Structures are given as structure tokens and as C-alpha cells.
Amino acid sequence: MLLVLLSIILLLASSALALFFSREPSRAQDAGAYGAVAASALGLWAAVRTLAAGSAETLSLPWSVPLGSLSFCLDPLSALFLVPVFLLTGLAAVYGVGYLRSYAGSKPLGLAWAAFNTLTAAMVLVFTAANAVLFLLGWELMAAASFLLVLFEHDKAQSRKAGFIYLAAGGAGALLLMAAFALLGAGSPLLDFASFRTPSGTAASAIFLLALGGFGLKAGFIPLHVWLPEAHPAAPSHVSAVMSGVMIKTGIYGLIRVLVFLGPWQEWWGWTLLAAGCVSCVLGALFALAQHELKRVLAYSSIENIGIILAAVGLGMVGAAHNADRLAALAFAGALLHVFNHSLFKGLLFMGAGAVLHGAGTAELDALGGLAKKMPRTALLFIAGAASACALPPFNGFAGEFLVYLGAFKGISSYPAVALAGVLAGLSLAVAGALAAAAFARAAGAAFLGEPRTERAAAAHPPDGLMLFSMYALGALCLAVCAAAPLLLVPLVSAVGAGFGGGFGAAAALEVPGPLVYISAGALLLAAVAAIAAVKRRSMFPAARTADVPTWDCGYAAPTARMQYGASSFAQPLTDFFQPVLRKLGQYPVIAEYFPGKASFSTEAQAVVYNAVYAPAAARIRDLAYRFSWLQHGRLQIYIMYIVVTLLGLLLWKL
């Protein structure tokens, strides 16, 4: 526990140092990155030790803030969330040094590093706080630091819009959480988590809904996701990796914690989570398919994965309501494993996208192509990350989803209600998996394969060694997690026990070992067969002729790069089919003559939920606010008068 506190202090100190060096970019980079890496190493050691031991450590320091206390707790659930935080921020810091180098002089790197390390410290605080005030403090610090990072390129209008939406979403979420914690902590003077009393039925449901809204706004499931696809692409890529990989998981973490405080779960909570999860994972994957920018594809894929995690938690809760503890244990373990896995592959993918942005200067899919020849290692790693994101064995994404599927199938041969939940969860995962495979094949294909579509893509340069190092590390972890899945048994079981209750931990200890062994057996078998097939292939024509011939374009003699299937055309059959949901905008050429001349075509993916729900609602609220604009005079005297009147009113009311 002390090590984790030490890492928080180290992070805050190094961010102060980075701010101090803001005039000298290279020193600021060093201060920030060394601090982040050292803190990661410390924290990782502490978190792994807690996971291996499977026990909780608590720490209370004297603090004289009303309603608060400096109480920390590091239990296996916190540790399971902390491991990816430290892993990813450490690697992202290494990556960031290479990535930000080109911004030296044009952007305030000292501020960026200060915000990055503060963000990390805030996340660690959120995952270890055992007091509501401390938790909310970390929560707000996290929102503020990441807000600064979203505005890193504030000269772009899109970044400013993203920053505003992000700020609004963060504010709304924090308000809901304050209400939730106020209700939870009624009767406990210090708002320590340990002193929360189990609320009664209706109050519990109200708290559940408040927490779902507050944490959901951070986790970003549909329909609370509108900030995510704006903010994640706007931040620098290593920050996007951290935001998508671990920061949104604070929402999942908070939700799980609150669920435990709420005592006996009501069945409809499970159904609510399941429904939100199913909708998010299918629509997230579908929206990812329609995006034209690489980082936006990844952002929507994060929504999909949050949906998978949420659906798994919901499935487990429905199962628990019907006393199907083994199903619940599998689903919960799958959810937690996917939390871990998603942070690895999403970190890798965002870093890959960052390498593309860094090397080609754009991440618009229709402007890329053929990058695999310019940056072969990035291509390899991105494709590995994409395969992970599609849950394809032998990569890690498969492991967590497999556990969830298994839970779903346990449910399918059970009572009708549980069976329905199992079918819904499994079916959504299957549909989302197929859509995600299409989305990632499209993204990887359009960016890395074929011929470059623009000169910028043709002139792309590979990322430097530091960036590659981080990506290699994450790629290796993606493979290792699936191959060495049985090693994860102890951490998973103890985290399930700590997060959801000891009964589920015991059930998980029975149910999880088998699947983990088979996952790794399957992955190793596949790797062995692939190795044999590759060696056999190599032995046939070791020095195969790579004659200088063009692609046989069905006899067409002069193919150009623009004739390739691009991102829009690849997705078109599916996006057309789902047009009622996607509502993409487009201009299609009309061919009316026998010899048509030049024509143009464009499609644009809409932010469907934002445009259909939030924008009209915001306009409505603004109109309402204008009606009260007469209150606003811009004169200090009148404002002071308002305050005096309010005070008097309160006084009179209390009399």
C-alpha cells in the first residue's frame, strides 16, 4: 500500500517538475517520462504482490477535512484494475517521449507531461480510495487532467468541441455521483466506504440508477457515450491509449464497488446492465465500421468493449438473482479478464494509430494505404492488436470473451429467464464480434495494405525505437496472456471474490480453472499448427520468386491506387443494410447519360445519438436558459445583492 502511495507522490512530484521545466521541452519530457516509468514500476510491484497474495491492505492517515478521511484500500479488485494502469501508463510514457518529440517548440510539453502524470496519479487514487470524498477528489482530478490533454491541439476546432462535450459529460457525471454517495453515506459521518450501511429497497434502486448514470458517463456505454468518440481521438495518441485503455474502466470499477455496497441485488438491475451492454457492444461495433478516421474507429471499438464488460456483469447479476452462482462467477471473471485484456490491446491499437498519424500526418482511412511497406513492424503490431480486438485466438481478447460465452451457455440450459439472459449476452457478443472483425479488417486493410492512396501515405516514415518498444511490449503481452492463461487464475479468483463477494470467488475457483487451461491449450495448439504450416510452406520454395509484376487486376492493364477498395466501399454493403440505424449522410452520383463524365461521391458517418438526442436537448435547455438571461446584468453590485437576498431568504425560511 505504501508503495502505491509512494508512486502517487512520485507522479505528482514529477508532474510539478515537468511543469517547472516547461521552457525546456527535452527536460520536461525526461522529468515526466522518468517519473511515470519509475512510479509504474513501483506501483506494478505493489499491485502484483497484492494479486498474488489475494488479501487486502488498508491505510488511514489523519486528515482534517470535514466529511472526509484519508483512507486507502488496496484489495485484489483494485489491484486488478491497477495492473493495467501502471503497465499502460508506463509504456505510454515511453511511447510519448518519441511521439511528442515532433511537437517540441510548438506545444507546451511541460504542461502535457504534468497533466499526463497527474491523470495517472488521479486514476491510482480512484482505484485505491476507501472514502467517498477522496474518491470524488481523484475523480475530478482525473477529469481535469484529461480535459487538458484533450485540448492538447486546441488550435483545431474539433478538439475544442471535443473538450467542451467532455467537460459537460464529466460535470454531469460527477454531479450524479455526488448524489449517489450522499445517499449511500447517509448516517456515516466520514463517508468511509467501510462505514456505508446497506440501503433499503427503493433507496438502493435510486442509488443504483444514479451510479449507473454517473459511472456510465465515464465508462461511455451507449447512450452515455457521446463524449468518447470526440475526446479520445482529439488527445495525443499515447493519452488516447491511456484514456481508452484504462481511464474509462474507472466507470466499471466504480459501478462494481457501488453494487457491493447496495447489498442484495434486484434482478432488474442485472437486466438493465445486460440491456445497456448488449446495445453498446453491437452498436459500438457497428458505428466503428462506419467511421472514416482510424482513431474514431478505435474509440467506437472501446464502446463495444465496455458493452461486452457491462453485458457480462449484467448476465452475472441476472444469474445471481436466480442462484446460478457458477454462471455468475464465470461471467464476472470474464468481465474482469476483459477489463485487463482490453487495456492491453486497445493501448496497442491506439499506439499503432499514433504511429500512423506520426508517420503519415493523417489518420483518415481514405487517405492512407500501403503503410505496411513503409512501417512493417507497426503493421504487424497493429494487425495483432486488431486480431485481439476481434477476440481471435491465440490473442488475449479471446480469453475474456470465452469466459463470458461459457457463462452464457451455462445459462442457456437453465431456467427460462436465465436462458434468455444467456442467449441475449451470447448473441450480442457473436454479432458484435462479426461486426468488429469487419471493422478492424477494414481499418487495417485501408491503412496498411494495398497501394498508398495519397502522396502523404506514400511518404510515410516509421516510428522511432521508443514508440516501437512500447508497442512490441504490449503485443507480446497480448500473445502471452492467452498462452499463459492459467497463470491468471489466482488473480482473477481473488478479484472476483473481492469485487463481487466471497461466494462468487469460491464458485470462480471451481469454474474458471478448466476454461483457462483449455484457452491456453487451444492457443498453443493453434500456434504449433501454424508454425508447422509455415515451416512446410517455407521448405517448398525457400527463395520464392518475387517477380516485379503488378497485381493481376482481372486483366485490367493500368490499375491505379484510387481503384482499390477503400474504407467506404469495403463497409458499404453492411452500412447500407444498417442505414436505418447508422443514418450516414452521403452524396451519390446519378448516372443519366451513356458516357458519364466526372462524378463525385461522399459519405459521412453521423454521431447518431448525439444528433438525435443530445443536440436537441441542449438546444432546448439553452432556450430555457435564455429566458432567465434578464437575471444576468454583468454588474457586480447586483450579483452581491442576489447573494444577500438568497442568504436572507434562507435565514427567514429557517426561522
CB of 227 to another protein, least distance (A): 28
In the window 576-635, what residues touch another protein (CB under 8 A)? 577
CB of 383 to another protein, least distance (A): 7
Residue of the chain from 522, 606, 609, 610 that contacts another protein (CB under 8 A)? 522
SS3 266: coil
CB of 181 to another protein, least distance (A): 39
CB of 518 to another protein, least distance (A): 4
Distances (CA, A) of 525 to 419, 478, 517, 519: 32, 17, 12, 10
Q: 541 vs 653, which CB is nearer to another protein?
A: 541
Which span (139-147, 318-326, 547-555, 586-594) binds another protein, by CB under 8 A? 547-555
CB of 557 to another protein, least distance (A): 13
CB of 269 to another protein, least distance (A): 22
CB of 351 to another protein, least distance (A): 19
In the window 385-404, what residues touch another protein (CB under 8 A)? 387, 390-393, 398, 402
**Amino acid identity, position 334:** G
CB of 542 to another protein, least distance (A): 11
Burial class (CB in 10 A: 0-12, 13-18, 19+), 652: exposed
Q: 196 vs 405, which CB is nearer to another protein?
A: 405
Q: In angstroms, rounded to a whole number, what is the distance separating the alpha carbons of residues 559 and 74?
A: 60
Cα maximum dimension of the chain = 95
In the window 216-255, what residues touch another protein (CB under 8 A)? none
List the grid coordinates of 244. Answer: 481508452
Using CB under 8 A as the binding rule, whether residue 510 contacts another protein is answered as: no
CB of 121 to another protein, least distance (A): 38
Question: Is the Cβ–Cβ distance between 428 and 282 less than 8 Å?
Answer: yes
List the grid coordinates of 648. Answer: 436572507
Q: 530 vs 650, which CB is nearer to another protein?
A: 530
# binding residues, another protein (CB under 8 A) = 84
CA-wise closest residue to 273 among 306, 237, 229, 225: 306
Residue of the chain from 68, 98, 216, 515 that contacts another protein (CB under 8 A)? 515
Instruction: Label the pairing between strands 602-604 and 57-61.
Output: unpaired
Q: 185 vs 370, which CB is nearer to another protein?
A: 370
In the window 552-571, what residues touch another protein (CB under 8 A)? 552-554, 559, 561, 563-566, 569-571
CB of 409 to another protein, least distance (A): 5
33-71 b/e (C-beta count within 10 Å ≥ 16 → b) = bbbbbbbbebbbebbeebbeebebbeeeeeeeeeebbbb
Question: Is the Cβ–Cβ distance between 327 and 421 less than 8 Å?
Answer: no
**Amino acid identity, position 145:** A
Which span (135-143, 217-225, 538-546, 636-644) binds another protein, by CB under 8 A? 538-546
Q: In angstroms, rounded to a whole number, what is the distance separating the alpha carbons of residues 171 and 308?
A: 26
Q: 376 vs 649, which CB is nearer to another protein?
A: 376
Residue whose cell numbers read 497533466: 115
Question: Is the Cβ–Cβ distance between 504 and 329 less than 8 Å?
Answer: yes
CB of 485 to another protein, least distance (A): 13
DSSP string, 567-632: HHHHHHHHHHHTHHHH--EEE-----SSS------EEE---HHIIIIIHHHHHHHHHHHHHTGGG-
Binding-residue pattern over the window 349 to 388 for another protein, x denoting contact by CB under 8 A: --------------------xx-xx--x--xx--x---x-
Using CB under 8 A as the binding rule, whether residue 533 contacts another protein is answered as: yes
Q: 66 vs 555, which CB is nearer to another protein?
A: 555
Q: In angstroms, rounded to a whole number, what is the distance separating the alpha carbons of residues 131 and 140?
A: 14
Q: How far apart are the first and last CA of the chain?
A: 49
Residue of the chain from 175, 279, 526, 581 that contacts another protein (CB under 8 A)? 526
Residue of the chain from 144, 183, 206, 419 that contacts another protein (CB under 8 A)? 419
Q: 152 vs 440, which CB is nearer to another protein?
A: 440
Question: Is the Cβ–Cβ distance between 201 and 263 less than 8 Å?
Answer: no
Q: 128 vs 291, which CB is nearer to another protein?
A: 291
CB of 290 to another protein, least distance (A): 13
SS3 647: helix
Distances (CA, A) of 38 to 41, 325, 384, 401: 5, 41, 28, 33
Q: 160 vs 377, which CB is nearer to another protein?
A: 377
In the window 443-482, what residues touch another protein (CB under 8 A)? 444-446, 448-451
Q: 373 vs 620, which CB is nearer to another protein?
A: 373
CB of 597 to another protein, least distance (A): 21
Residue of the chain from 67, 186, 194, 525 that contacts another protein (CB under 8 A)? 525
Q: In angstroms, rounded to a whole number, what is the distance separating the alpha carbons of residues 652 and 355?
A: 64
Q: 161 vs 537, which CB is nearer to another protein?
A: 537
Which span (92-100, 157-165, 427-435, 585-593) binds another protein, by CB under 8 A? 427-435
Using CB under 8 A as the binding rule, whether residue 307 contacts another protein is answered as: no
Q: What is the DSSP letter of 73?
A: E
